[in-house]
Structure 1
Amino acid sequence: MTSPTPHQDQTNPRARELGLAVGTLPPGPLNAVTDVPGVRVGHTTVRRPPDVHSGVTAVVPGEVSPYAPLPAGVFRGNGYGKLIGSTQIEELGQIETPVLLTSTLSAFRAADALVGWMLERPECRRTLSLNPVVGECNDGRLSDIRSRPVGEAEVRAALDGARGGPVAEGCVGGGTGLGALGFKAGMGTASRRFALEGRTVTVGALVQANFGGVLRVRGTPVTPADVGVRDGDGSGDGSGDAEIGSCVVVIATDAPLDARQLGRVARRAVFALARTGAGYGHGSGDYGLALATRRATGSPAADSSLDPLFEAVLDSTEEAVLNSLLAATTTTGVHGRTLHALPAGPLLARLGS
């Protein structure tokens, strides 16, 4: 079954609804990356149980194109990954396509599909060079990754279905077959608003969570055994698959930043994963990608004023990871492997809440 899922009625409580808000800065109205003006998100979910649990997520920041690029920065925490298009972002400090997040072995099909979608747009009718941006995580624990189930149709559905509003989380799109920190995970999002040089700006984070380590919530370690479930290896200690993972964090903001400053923002996104217990293992691809939806029209914000921005990135990324875990549902995939959801009630009991 393949389904475009740009929105969902959230059935599981999010971190904030459980009293687990991170930090003191307020969120935007949706507590999502789509709180940043102009940002749209679309998911296509591909499920053919029990063997296939995969998909693709599109982040579309306005009418971005090679002729109207947006400032961007990228940071590599651990580079065991395939962030297609990252070198040109590093070189030029610009992004010229939407961002796709999908499964590792589908990333190359997704990049080709993104190129085709862009070339059909009127603003690209004379385009002779294009830098598609595609991030990936390995969903091979739960999905038949070698079947490469995400192709052109799925990518186009995610791009064409991208819109503002609430963002589906958990087992959707590029997060369908993922697990993190011993639990079923997937896509998660959060946002923050704050004052920067006299104006209110927004930061939004979208995470594709699939990394190893031991979950920490408010500094407290939480293993599957602590909340009465078994992890995917049956060990119950949360250490399984520490070397198999990745996390791609997309940060969007309407703050007036240049590419160099967005590189600093991307670093904070990767740093924030440590708060959640990330192991940054040998086999993990941990990337931060930051983009600004406002093109430079004058001087960027002063570096000395960026501390609230950095705080917003750290807090929204951490909360987005928690949301990716809390929204996910227990999934049994290929070869009978199961990843269990993080149960809210036992989690609160573990924290003494």
Structure 2
Amino acid sequence: MPVRAREIGINIGRGKPGKHNAITDVPGVKVGHVTLIEGKGKLVVGKGPVRTGVTMILGHPGHPFDEPLYAGAHWFNGNGELTGMAWIQEFGLLTSPIALTNSSSVGVVRDAIGSIEASMLLPEQNPWSLPVVGETWDAALNDMAGGHVKPEHVWEAFRKAKDGPVAEGNVGGGTAQIAFGFKSGIGTASRKLPDSDGGWTVGVLLQANHGRRDNLTVLGAPVGEEIPATAVPFPQPPEATYRPGAGSIPIIVATDAPLLPHQCQRLARRAGIGMLRSGGLAENDSGDLFFAFSTANRGKIPGPNIVHSPLKHDLTVLTDAFLDPIFEAAAEATEEAILNSLLMAETMTGRDNVTAHALPPALLLKILAKYKRGPRPAGS
């Protein structure tokens, strides 16, 4: 049965989660999923079996061009795709929703987001869009070349986006993902800083499809080494032996701390600490792409569609010397979100009857107890 890490006493780090322990704890951030599961048996390209979807992350309650947000990105290993990065690098502005899907659906999702944004503007506003879309390879279980993600699915994910608890595991873009040789998917977590550190919230949402089994680490314990393939089998796609370490992990970090673009870039980089702590090593065949944005200063930053922009504008900005608690929060939330992506996923059989097995919570707890890393109070 799917379970979140904290529900079985696995508390990552020292920080305190937000209300829902999700990226939506950052005020104004919403998440929507569309999950596509259809068919079984032998792969027939274009027909299935289908095990895929799209996940949408919204940081703007209104039109992104009217209220852009500061953002930054970091590439740990670039064997993957995150669209719109030239614009982010040059201007540091997030002017679109963010979406996660499979590798072959990046184009259709990007174009659909462009149509969503255009629908919000008047024709005379000359709409243009540079959406942010990340991907992971889900062809071990899914008919990825079949083009099953359609524009209407992107629109549906956009309309479904809401705050509050976020579905994890086999949902949205994470439907058919595999990490550390286990079934994985979407994972999320958050940290609420104490008032003494500004009281900001940092939230993470990721799509885990990376890592080698023998590197999986939980609370410092070598969990992956303790679970051989004889205990929990690896997926075996028919055309090739499953290649441990192949895959990707796009990580989205949101915060309401008032950060400038270069500070967002630095925050995105800290997601890599959480990935490394859990055993991800940015292998050659992995796309480890991290993106961070700040919802602060919304409405104060002139948008690209404003013809008569002010000569100058005032902002509230966090002093660099006080970034460390936010960095730590991002690392902890990332590590916990990766574990949630594993524990909330369920065993799935996909194309050609390939099966990806879930990480058994009872077995995980047994291993942690062996290394004296069992359930403990939060913050201990």
**Aligned twin of 1:53:** 51
Any conservation in 1 of the 2:53–2:173 contact (CA below 8 Å)?
yes
Q: Deviations over 1:303-326 (max 9, x none)?
A: 111111011000000000000000
Question: Could you tell me which residue of structure 2 aligns to residue 27 of structure 1?
Answer: 17
1:222 is the counterpart of 2:192: no
Distance 1:123 1:194, change over 3 A: farther
User: Separation in 2 of the partners of 1:256 and 1:176?
Assistant: 33
Q: 287-296 or 118-127: which moved more?
A: 118-127
In structure 1, what is the equivalent of residue 182 of structure 2? 183
Could you tell me which residue of structure 1 aligns to residue 77 of structure 2? Answer: 78
8 Å CA contact 2:114, 2:128 repeated in 1: no
Structure 1 segments (4+ residues) deviating >6 Å:
none
Inter-partner Cα distance in structure 2 for 1:229 and 1:141: 17
CA shift for structure 1 position 125: 5.8
Instruction: Out of 271-280 and 118-127, give the one that drifted further.
Output: 118-127
Aligned-pair distance for 1:198? 5.8
91-100 or 242-251: bigger deviation? 242-251
Partner of 2:306: none
| 2:24 partner SS | helix
Deviates more, 1:55-64 or 1:38-47: 55-64
Q: Which moved more, 1:61-70 or 1:76-85?
A: 61-70
Closer, same or farther in 2 for the Cα pair 1:60/1:203, shift >3 Å? Answer: same
Instruction: Point out where structure 1 has 5 or more consecutive residues left out of the alignment.
Output: 1-10
Instruction: Flag the structure with larger Rg.
Output: 2
Distance in 1 (CA, whole Å) between partners of 2:331 and 2:113 is 30
- Measured after TM superposition, the shift of residue 64 of structure 1 is 4.6
Q: CA separation in 2, counterparts of 1:20 and 1:96?
A: 37
Structure 1 counterpart of 2:190, one-letter code: S
Shift of 1:227: 9.2
Q: Give the TM-score of the pair, scaled to structure 2.
A: 0.85
Asked whether the equivalents of residues 248 and 286 of structure 1 are also in contact (C-alpha less than 8 Å), the reply is yes
Structure 1 residues 252 and 261, CA gap change in structure 2 (3 angstroms): same
Structure 1 residues 227 and 251, CA gap change in structure 2 (3 angstroms): farther
* Cα distance, 1:268 vs structure 2: 0.5
Cα distance change, pair 198–140 in 1 and its aligned pair in 2 (3 A): closer
1:89-144 deviation line (CA, Å, top 9, x unaligned): 11111110010000000010100111011100147861342111100001011101
Distance 2:101 2:179 in 1: 16
State the distance in 2 between where 1:323 and 1:19 align.
Answer: 12
Question: How far apart, in 2, do the equivalents of 1:17 and 1:245 lie?
Answer: 28
Structure 1 residues 198 and 143: alpha-carbon distance in aligned structure 2, compared to 1, 3 A threshold: closer
Equivalent residue letter for 1:96:
T
- Alpha-carbon shift at residue 333 of structure 1 (Å): 0.9
What's the counterpart of residue 204 of structure 2?
205
Q: Which runs of 5+ in 2 are unaligned?
A: 41-48, 301-313, 375-380
The alpha-carbon deviation at position 197 of structure 1 amounts to: 6.5
State the alpha-carbon separation in 1 of the partners of residues 164 and 199 from structure 2. 20
**Counterpart in 2 of 1:94?**
93
- In structure 2, distance between residues paired with 1:227 and 1:22: 28
Contact 2:118 2:127 in 1 (8 A): no
Of 292, 295, 299, 2:294 maps to 292
Q: Provide the C-alpha distance between the structure 2 equivalents of 1:125 and 1:292, rounded to a whole number of angstroms.
A: 29
CA deviation map 1:277-328 (0-9, x unaligned): 1131111110110000112653411111111101100000000000000000
Describe the SS at the equivalent of 2:193. strand
Residue 37 (structure 1) aligned to one of 27, 43, 48: 27
Give the Cα separation in 2 of the matches to 1:208 and 1:139.
11
2:284 is matched with which residue? 282
Q: Which stretch shows the higher mean deviation, 120-129 or 163-172? A: 120-129
Residue aligning to 2:165: 166
Describe the superposition over 1:212-248 as per-residue Cα deviations: whole angstroms up to 9, x where unpaired.
22211111222342893112149xxxx9523420001
Q: Counterpart in 1 of 2:250? A: 248
Distance 1:272 1:198 in 2: 20
- How many residues align? The count is 339
For structure 1, which segment, 301-310 or 120-129, has the greater mean C-alpha deviation from structure 2 after superposition?
120-129
Tell me the amino acid that sits aligned with residue 58 of structure 2.
V
Contact (CA 8 Å) 2:33, 2:53: kept in 1 or not?
A: yes
Query: Aligned residue for 1:340?
Result: 357
Distance between the aligned counterparts of 1:69 and 1:17, measured in 2?
36
Is the contact between residue 227 and residue 347 of structure 1 (CA under 8 Å) also seen in structure 2? no
1:307 equivalent in alignment to 2:324: yes
Asked if structure 1 preserves the Cα contact closer than 8 Å seen for 2:118 and 2:128, the reply is no
Partner of 1:259: 261
Tell me which amino acid in the other structure corresponds to 1:270: G
Q: Contact 1:196/1:306 (CA < 8 Å) preserved in 2? A: no
Q: Which residue of structure 2 lines up, in the alignment, with residue 8 of structure 1? A: none
Q: Distance in 1 between matches of 2:172 and 2:231?
A: 28
The alpha-carbon deviation at position 145 of structure 1 amounts to 0.5
Hey, what's the Cα distance between the residues in 1 that align with 2:199 and 2:230?
40
- Identical-pair percentage: 41
Higher strand share: 1
TM-aligned CA deviation for residue 48 of structure 1: 1.0
State the alpha-carbon separation in 1 of the partners of residues 168 and 175 from structure 2: 9
Q: Name the structure 2 match of 1:6.
A: none
